[in-house]
Structures are given as structure tokens and as C-alpha cells.
Amino acid sequence: MAGTTTWKLWMVTLCLLLLLPYGFVQRAYAEPARVLVVYDSLALGTPKEGNIEALKRVLASFGVEVTVTSFDRYKQGTLDKYQQVIGVRNADDLTELKAEYRNDFASYQGAYLHIGSQLPDKTRQALGLQVEERSRDTIRLSIGSYAQSAIPVNRMPYIVQTEGTAFAYGTLVSDSSHAVSPYGVMRERMAYVPYFEKGNLSELAIAYIVKDWLGVKRQSQNYVLFKPVYPFSNLEQMQRLADRLYESGIPFIVSAMPVFSNTDYPAMKRYLEALKYVQSRNGSILVNAPVVASTISQDITTLSDQMASFINALAEYGIAPLGIGAEMYWTYDQHYTARGMSYFDSIVTFPNERIMHRAQTDTSKAFSSSVYTLKAGELNKFEQQGKVREPFPMDTALVYDFPEDGKQFEQTLQALTSDWTTYADYKMAAHTVRTGANEAVSRQGQLQINGQTPVLNKAVKAVDSQHVYIQEGPKAFAAVFTLQNNIFIALILLTLLIFAGFLIIGHRLYRRKYTNQERSL
């Protein structure tokens, strides 16, 4: 017996030793990569304006925690805290950098990606490059199966020669000289992209390099997303849309605006019924970030309670929200990340439209699942090889406005059903939304709410519109007020009759007087 017990103890110990490293690997994998972005200028008023924002959104799509600072605000020793650094040089006239940064960069041994002009000698030598700057020109950019022509550039550095084993990405063709150069290059931990602007193909092209530079191996997916959907949207139209997409075999995502009050009203019940029906037709539900009307509020905890109440309302109705859809600036705000986004581990990131910071920070919140977004019409700017759209390096959702009228409805369906692109089901990825009262998860296409599979609606249930919106008060004097009202009505009617009688009598007297005068003449 003693020998058997000893043998069992040895087996348990061995299993623990074998599983311990696996636990460390899992924990290390779960921690997001940390990237420092240092820039010289936001390039306001130039074609490069907005490229820092675009870069932050691309990095977010790979689940990266990003810290952004300028060279002017750089503090000595910062580079030592990061294994991956991106330097962005937008201003050709800002050649001199702070001594603290220059000294730290000279000894920096981590991965480095340079974007723009003024490529450091250290990086140039590591990549084996020769770079030549040219004046005004137009170029054709090609990468993957996408291309865009007639892109204007000014004082852009071209990679004219590479030595050694640097890997080239895409091509740039000069319209004036017809010279061909790579869009970007990478060797081991060093990479260089000479041109990057928001709004053209370079905004997507840089993702090809960033993905390899970060070491991301997972396969990317294309999604379809509709936004925004409100309780007062055309819910019958949404049900028809869900049916048509389901029949066409196209999974989709709906970004639903939250409701923070009056959740017992019939309008809210109809909203929940419609969302539940969408879920049953292979649709996935996101909670859209609420519209920020003002950053002034006395109670800073309100957002947290409101978001939790809406998530709980969805879960208790059998709807499993799988993430949050928000403009990118939300991830750079301590208030929004702590109070509004802490329930989610998945995000679909939209471009900033109206920035309303409350507690801005230089470091973003990273999510285990993050999807980049493109408006569906933006792809029309690019030339495409073949009928099937090649997935971009990051998970990407094509965003369609929710069709409110019949014409837009048919146009949207025609665009989706005639496209050869295969769209993925958002539920196939792992997502978790958790409040203190409820938990909604998806794993391999299976939804669960608090460990139970939700019941799918085969049809939308009718909701009784009879609802007492304002509670009636006590009616102790109702009879007295009713009698008083009846008396006033009777007096008014009597007065009107008397007044009408006077008018008739006066009219007859005047007519008789006029007739007598005619006879006397």
C-alpha cells in the first residue's frame, strides 16, 4: 500500500511539472504585445495628416497594446521598456531629435520599424538599403491582389537598392521615370516603409509588413457588419434582411445601440425580439458604444452601470452579445475603457468621427479579438485581381449602413450576393462578455449564456403595444372636477346660443331698415 501511494504521488508530481510550463506559455500568450510609436509631427494640413491615427488602428487590429508619444515628449530610458518600436517621420524639415532619444536608440537592440523619410543609418545598414528622395511624382502602388494608381507624392524616398536577404513587400512604380521599387522591406527585426498616408491603399498595405514584423501567424477573416441599429430603426426591414442573408448563406454582424432606460416599454421589447431573431438567422450581436453628447457629468460611474444593465437585459432575453463596437479613441481613454469596455474581450474598431475624450491616455487598451473596419464603398477605389477578394492581413469587417428604405435594401443585398468573397461567422471565434450577473460566450460557433444554449426564435413574437407610460395619481376629487367641467361647458354653450340669437335679431332689424328706406325713395 505504501508503495502504491508513493507511486501515485510521483505521478501527480510529474503531471504538475509537465503542465506548469504549459501554464506559463498560456499566460505569456494571453499578454498582448507592447509597441511604442514615436513620431515627429502629426502633419496637420498636409497629405500625411491622420496617418498616426491610421497606424494606431492597424496595430489595434493585431491585438497590440500601443503607447504613442512624440520625439519632443520622449523621456530617457523609455526605449528600454519596449521590444518593438515604430518611428514615424512626417516632417522633412525636423531633422534634429532630442539627445535622450538619440542616445537610447544607439543602444536599442529590439525590433524597429521606420516609416517615412530620414531613415536612421543604423536601420539602413541593417537592411542593406540605398534610398533616393525624389520630388513631386505620382505612383502606382500594388500589394497582394490590390492596386491603386495615380497616387500623388512629394519628396518621397524610394528604395533603389537592397542587399542581402531583406524581404520586399509590394511595388511602387513611378509614373514619371517608370522606376520600380519595393513598397517596404524587412529583415529579421528591422523593417522600413518609405510612404504611408491615410485614405489610400498604403493604409492597408502597411498591415502586410506590420503583421510579419509583429510575428502574427493567425489567419485573417472577412466579416460583414451593419450599423447602426436603434430601437426606432425599421425592425421589420432588419428581419427581412436577416432572412435574405440567411438564405444566401452569408453570416453577418449587427452593431446595436444600447438602451439605458425605459427597458420595460413595448418599443424596447420589440427591439429585443428583433435582435433575438437576427441571432437565430446566423447573425452576431455587438453592443455599439453609446453616443457621447458631453464629457461633463457629475456621476462618473453612470456609464458602467448603464452598460451592465443593457448587457443584462440582452442576456436575460436570450441574446448573447459578443463584443463592443467603438470608435478608436475609446481605447485611449481611461474612463471609457474602465467604465464602458471592461465587460468585453472583443472589439470592432471604427474610425474616429467625433473625438470626445474624458480621461485621455497615451496607451491603448488591447483586446484578445480586434477587428479592423472598412466602409464597403472604400474598396471601389482599388483595383482587384480576380473575383474573390483576398483577405487583408488583419481581421476586417466591411461596414454597411443599415438599409432603412427598399432601394437601399436591394442595393445592399445585390452587392453582397453578387460578391464572390467568402465571409466568416463572427461566432466561430472565441468571445466573452461578462457582467456581475451574466456571462455570454461563443466558441466554435456555439453560443452560451450562463452556461446554457439560448433558444433561437423561429419567428418574431408580437408585442402588446398597450402600456401605461405615466402612472395615474389618486382620484379623490375626480367627481367634483367632472361636475365643475360639465357646468362650465353648459354655461359656454348657453352663452354661444344667446350670442347667436342676438346676431340673428340684429341681422333682421338691419335688413328691415334697409327695405323701408328703399320704399321711401
Do the beta carbons of residue 57 and residue 367 sit within 8 Å? no
Strands of 137-143's sheet in order across = 65-70, 34-39, 84-89, 111-116, 190-193, 180-187, 167-174, 137-143, 146-153, 383-384
In the chain, the percentage of residues whose pLDDT exceeds 90 is 60
Determine how many CB atoms are found less than 10 A away from the CB of residue 147: 17
Helix (H, G, I), strand (E, B) or coil at 85: strand
CB 321 within 8 A of CB 286: yes
pLDDT at 480 over 70: no
Cell of 81: 521598456
Q: Which residues pair with 447 in a beta bridge?
A: 442
Pairing mode of beta strands 190-193, 111-116: parallel
Mean pLDDT for the chain overall: 86
- Number of neighbouring beta carbons within 10 Å of residue 362: 13
**Beta strands 369-375 and 65-70, pairing class:** unpaired
pLDDT of residue 481: 67
Confidence check: pLDDT of 71 > 70: yes
Q: Give bridge partners of residue 354 from the DSSP assignment.
A: none
**What value does the mean pLDDT take over residues 317-331?**
96
Q: What is the pLDDT of residues 88-117, one digit of tens each?
A: 999 988 878 999 999 999 999 999 999 999
Closest to 67 (Cα-Cα) out of 115, 292, 75, 103: 75
Domains detected in the chain: 31-214 (3.40.50.880), 222-449 (3.20.20.370)
Read off the amino acid at residue 484.
Q
End-to-end, the C-alpha distance of the chain in Å comes to 147
Q: How confident is the model at residue 284 (pLDDT cuts 50, 70, 90)?
A: very high
- Give yes or no for a cis peptide into 228 (omega within 30° of 0): yes
**Average pLDDT, integer, range 450-454:** 93
Question: Does the pLDDT at position 25 exceed 50?
Answer: no
C-alpha cell, 132: 533616393
pTM over 0.85: no
Dist CA 271 CA 250 (whole Å): 22
Please tell me the distance from the alpha carbon of residue 139 to that of residue 152, in angstroms, as a whole number: 7
In DSSP terms, 219 is beta-bridged to none
Q: What average pLDDT score do residues 463-490 get?
A: 62
Residue 379 is placed in which grid cell?
A: 474598396
**Minimal CA–CA distance to 68: which of 55, 83, 77, 49?**
55
Between 268 and 361, the more confident residue is: 361
Rounded Cα–Cα distance for residues 370 and 286 (Å): 13
The model's pLDDT over 231-242, given as tens digits with 9 standing for 90+, comes to 988 889 999 999
Whole-angstrom Cα distance, residue 32 to residue 16?
A: 26
